[in-house]
Structure 1
Amino acid sequence: MYQPSERRYEGMEYKRCGRSGLKLPAMSLGLWQNFGTEKTLKEQEEILCHAFDRGITHFDLANNYGHPARGLAEENFGRALKDCLGPYRDELAVSTKAGYDMWQGPYGNWGSRKYLMASLDQSLRRMGLDYVDIFYHHRPDPETPLEETMEALSDMVRQGKALYVGISNYNAEQTAAAVKLLRENHTPCLIHQVRYNLLERQAEDGLFHVLSENGVGCICFSPLAQGALTDKYLRGIPAGSRAAREGSTVAARYLDAETLGKIKKLNDIARAGGMTLAQMALAWILRRPEVTSVLVGASSTAQLDSSLAALKLPPLGEDVRKEIRAALGQ
């Protein structure tokens, strides 16, 4: 029977999420990749339990996570709760989302009340939970009135199916509008999940300001640009890597000649500073005061430990940040 480490809270920093009462670990575990059929259930549970042993209390999912079947990551996480983590449910913050294509027909996508309510009910069944700690609308819907989407989120909290709600992939203007509506509904926006890394910095163009001004937490996904900000692709695309998978957008998005040249320069800076490129990329995000948590993936406990080592690095000095800016052509 699994027994978590008695020292699990000693090495992790927990940061207050916006102006709420909830604290999240500085590093959270995302189940976007590696929690479908890529790993055995035993391997998945080893990663999840190891994460908890290291102080990671926040596990992030979505209705459509899990290769090759949507919802499989939630099903597998539900099995892990039964097998090992369930007795510690009150020590965990579990989040899920809906907003992307999930099932056939007109009611399985975007942001209608019907889709969101049905999706949350399905997610709870797959995970075997009575509630999630955070439910996100996964992306803005250009057609459904924002009032309808935000009212659905508010009702989830009133019904006790979610303790907090958040949004993801909203730009600064959309975020400000959503935050206002949720505040009027007396269910403040807890958190925004945004793509942010050394190569993709759109959040700096107003979004971080909106979040800080409104007391909304921020958790960053794709901090390593889906693996591009590691040493994995410096000498080509290895067989079996994410970029080599059918349908992957990693190569097209990040591995053109110009971007790869920048990544190689960043790798040189990291190595000169005694870090891996991934650790430097994570430390670079963690320096920002707006960031509550960084969302990492893991294909093994060793990879997770390597990411967690970024939390122990000294703050990046101005000289290193200057080199990073030069490598990125800024």
Structure 2
Amino acid sequence: MTQTDAPSTDVSPSAYQPASARYDTMLYRRSGHSGLRLPAISLGLWHNFASQEFGGKDSLENCRAMLRRAFDLGVTHFDLANNYGPPPGSAESTFGRLLQQDFRPYRDELIISSKAGYDMWEGPYGNFGSRKYLVSSLDQSLKRMGLEYVDIFYHHRPDPETPLEETMSALDYIVRSGRALYVGLSNYTPEQTRQAAALLRELGTSALIHQPSYSMLNRRVEGLLGGGSLIEALRETGLGSIVFSPLQQGLLTDRYLQGIPEDSRASGGRFLRPEHLTDEVLGKTRRLNDLALGRGQTLAQMALAWVLRWPEVTSALIGASRPAQIDDAVGALSKLDFSSTELEEIEKILAG
């Protein structure tokens, strides 16, 4: 696999001055039993920071505009992974370049996270959960971003072959060596989460946070599809959580209410595919949209408020392709409460 290199140091001085009121309206929530607070809305940097999609001057400027707008609104947490791209590593390199240009003076105001666990380079040491892979991958990520440490480093997925003790020992070493301040888990089952948290606790490095997929259309974390409730596991272990895909790849927005736009993610068919937009799903999203409008929100805002209703959900992780989408997401925080009638109506729609 092709990987990108460290961020270019050939950058001009930044004229960026963040908004002085950036912390006035953002909601910050404590991650589990830790001392760290995260913004209720965090920004994920995946496809929209890939080099093949943002290779030109204007595209880099759009990335810069999104980061600036997010920070101006109090979004202090930027989430990445080693293989975000394509090609793998390009999202970290793009972020690293903009970090050097615009955000280096504000490093201590930022939470920067990365992950490792999926395919990253050729050969037997380029994926999953061995000590060699995790430490080597994070070293590469730090180089690409031009950082001495990340704030949070996640194991991106469980490894069915590497002993969990080895993976957790590697995460403990990563913290003790100064490469990360905190460690987290992603895509772990409730029972795996309990086991991993116990091992880390014994080593003296507590797990901070879990990153699962969760939305109105994907409620596995609630235990509704079997396998136990991740919400209960988080409550028991004292971990926080940051949920990804809370808008179900855009399905829980007004983007697809009338079909598939030609320039949409679904028209490309990479992750959100046309077959996902069934009459049943569209019927639900249209009814949810009507309910959201009655609450004075967009569908996306209501969907974000809905996942944030759990105390165990510290933050909702969004993607964006333009700054206005970040404004809309942060706007969800102005109305997080649901009446019992609204929650009952949502359950009826989702069950229907």
Common topology (TM > 0.5): yes
- For 1:329 and 1:27, locate their aligned partners in 2 and report how far apart those are by CA, in whole Å: 27
Correspondence for 2:249: 226
- For 2:323 and 2:24, locate their aligned partners in 1 and report how far apart those are by CA, in whole Å: 18
Contact kept, 8 Å, 2:152 with 2:180, in 1: the verdict is yes
Counterpart of 1:276, as a letter, is T
- For 2:268 and 2:140, locate their aligned partners in 1 and report how far apart those are by CA, in whole Å: 28
Correspondence for 2:285: 263
Structure 1: gaps (5+ residues): none
How far apart are 1:247 and its partner, in Å? 2.8
- For 2:110 and 2:26, locate their aligned partners in 1 and report how far apart those are by CA, in whole Å: 14
- For 2:20 and 2:38, locate their aligned partners in 1 and report how far apart those are by CA, in whole Å: 19
- Counterparts of residues 1-330 of structure 1 (less than 5 Å): 1-37=15-51, 38-39=53-54, 40-66=59-85, 68-205=86-223, 206-252=229-275, 254-329=276-351
- For 2:324 and 2:183, locate their aligned partners in 1 and report how far apart those are by CA, in whole Å: 32
Moved over 3 A (4+): 249-252
Aligned residue pairs: how many? 328
Contact kept, 8 Å, 2:308 with 2:336, in 1: the verdict is no
Counterpart of 1:22, as a letter, is L
Counterpart of 2:115, as a letter, is K
Which digits, 9 at most, give the CA deviation of each residue in 1:270-325, with x for residues without a partner?
12222111011011111111111111111111111011100011512111111111
- For 1:224 and 1:46, locate their aligned partners in 2 and report how far apart those are by CA, in whole Å: 22
Contact kept, 8 Å, 1:31 with 1:61, in 2: the verdict is yes
- For 1:246 and 1:233, locate their aligned partners in 2 and report how far apart those are by CA, in whole Å: 14
Counterpart of 2:203, as a letter, is N
1:34 aligns to what SS in structure 2? Answer: helix
How far apart are 1:235 and its partner, in Å? 1.9
Output the TM-score relative to the length of structure 2.
0.91
Contact kept, 8 Å, 2:309 with 2:336, in 1: the verdict is no
Which digits, 9 at most, give the CA deviation of each residue in 1:18-48, with x for residues without a partner?
1111111111111123111334111101110
Contact kept, 8 Å, 1:218 with 1:290, in 2: the verdict is yes
Task: Say which is worse superposed, 318-327 or 264-273, in terms of deviation.
Answer: 264-273
Root mean square deviation, CA, Å: 1.2
Contact kept, 8 Å, 1:226 with 1:250, in 2: the verdict is no
- For 1:263 and 1:142, locate their aligned partners in 2 and report how far apart those are by CA, in whole Å: 36
Going from structure 1 to structure 2, the CA distance change for 1:90 and 1:314 (only over 3 Å counts) comes to closer
Task: Say which is worse superposed, 269-278 or 134-143, in terms of deviation.
Answer: 269-278
How far apart are 1:250 and its partner, in Å? 4.0
2:246 aligns to what SS in structure 1? Answer: coil
Task: Say which is worse superposed, 233-242 or 77-86, in terms of deviation.
Answer: 233-242
- For 1:90 and 1:124, locate their aligned partners in 2 and report how far apart those are by CA, in whole Å: 16
Contact kept, 8 Å, 2:284 with 2:350, in 1: the verdict is yes
- For 1:56 and 1:107, locate their aligned partners in 2 and report how far apart those are by CA, in whole Å: 35
- For 2:273 and 2:162, locate their aligned partners in 1 and report how far apart those are by CA, in whole Å: 30
How far apart are 1:246 and its partner, in Å? 4.7
Which digits, 9 at most, give the CA deviation of each residue in 1:100-119, with x for residues without a partner?
11111111111111111111
Contact kept, 8 Å, 1:61 with 1:74, in 2: the verdict is yes
1:328 aligns to what SS in structure 2? Answer: helix
